[in-house]
Amino acid sequence: MQPIRLRKLVFTLHRYVGLAVGLILVVIGLTGSLLVFEPELDRALIHAQFGNIVPQSQQVSIPSVVDKIKSAKPDWAVRGIDTPITPDDAMRVTIESPNKPDLEVLVNPYTGQIIGERIRDRTLTGFLLMFHYTLAAGDAGIAIAGIAALLLFILSLTGICLWSGWRKLISGFKIKWNGHIKRVNFDIHKVIGIVAAIFLALTGITGFGWNFYPQVDPLIYAATFTPQPIEATSKFIPNTPTVTLTQVLQRADAALPGTKTTYVNLPATSDGVFQINKQFPEERDLFRSRVYIDRYTGEVVQVRDSRHLRLGDQVVDAFTPLHFGTFGGLPTRIIYVFVGLAPTILLATGFVMWRCRKPRYKTKACK
């Protein structure tokens, strides 16, 4: 195929894919910009609603908090505990009851006092996550958002191919502000597009991978020649009580010494396991290392040590920092805030270019 014809094909694909999914990408992008600092935003909302937490020298134990909540909410089952991320953060305990939405109970980690409760999905950050991940449309929304993310990846690649800077580098980053409005519009599109392209491609492909993880994960492990992890389960023993949470935490600490417990997931089924997420001092990620413990015997079923991961696991784990921009700390997180705004600008400027493409469609703004 001749280069001119190939470029025209790529241009047509870029134009109509952008117009087709542009509005969806705007919603995902704008919510994503806000979610870059989701932990900080959610913590500020908690402080505003339930008051500040004054840090102290010693925190109460996780089992004592769970016991207190079980006493206060006997008809509810404890399912997960998020430990505080910062000294002034609350401990968050997720509880569930049949035919009711899950509750998040907020606990002062120094006194063990319950300071409030909320329905996580009905908070500001909950709404943002719902629109970002599912477009507020349930399972169908997950599929639509995932396909849109894949198309964002394609848009990024085709945009890079079409960038005029390949012919003359300086012109590719130049906006002629004193030019005709069509020229200014085009220049804004090309500059914003090329600056954000790599980041948009990364968020697109990782978003697609998450929304279609049952299909994507096996492909990643196959491509990296890595055996896919086996799901950890407990060996069901009739008439045997579940081991205590204190024992579970002690064995998790012994399995990965020198780590901080960041999350505890309690078994919800007869063959379920305790999942204890751990963090090494040098890590930013809170959930890469995990210990899985049998609910009946207290034996360690699996250990996932982030320092010794196989290639497939490393690729899957890379999705989180690449999608949220945490791989470079605060600077890349700030960059990702602006990356989330890029689809709005690109859709607006792209629509103007499409609208002005032929004389019969020209408006005053195009003349």
Residues, the chain: 367
pLDDT at 88: 94
What does the alpha-carbon distance between residue 273 and residue 296 come to, in Å, rounded to a whole number?
Answer: 9
Instruction: Please list the ranges in the chain whose pLDDT falls under 70.
Output: 1-2, 358-367
Q: Please spell the DSSP secondary structure of 28-91, one letter per residue.
A: HHHHHHHHTTHHHHHHHHHHHHH------S-PPPHHHHHHHHHHH-TTSEEEEEEPPSSTTPPE
pLDDT at 357: 73
pLDDT at 279: 96
Task: Specify the residue for token string 């003359």.
Answer: 168
pLDDT at 361: 52
CB distance 188 to 164 below 8 Å: no
DSSP reduced 3-state for 276? strand
pLDDT at 15: 93
pLDDT at 121: 87
Q: How far is CA 219 from CA 222, 228, 321, in A?
A: 5, 10, 20
Q: Please spell the DSSP secondary structure of 117-181, one letter per residue.
A: EE-GGGSHHHHHHHHHHHTTSHHHHHHHHHHHHHHHHHHHHHHHHH-GGGT-HHHHT---TTS-H
Per DSSP, 306 falls in state G
pLDDT at 359: 59
Task: Specify the residue for token string 């995990």.
Answer: 290
Q: What is the pTM of this model?
A: 0.90
pLDDT at 168: 86
pLDDT at 362: 53
Indicate the pairing of strand 300-304 with strand 103-107.
unpaired
Residue 12: CB atoms within 10 Å: 11
pLDDT at 323: 96
| DSSP run (H or E) holding 262 | strand 260-265
Task: Specify the residue for token string 């919510």.
Answer: 31
CB distance 82 to 162 below 8 Å: no
> Which residues is 122 bridged to in the sheet?
none
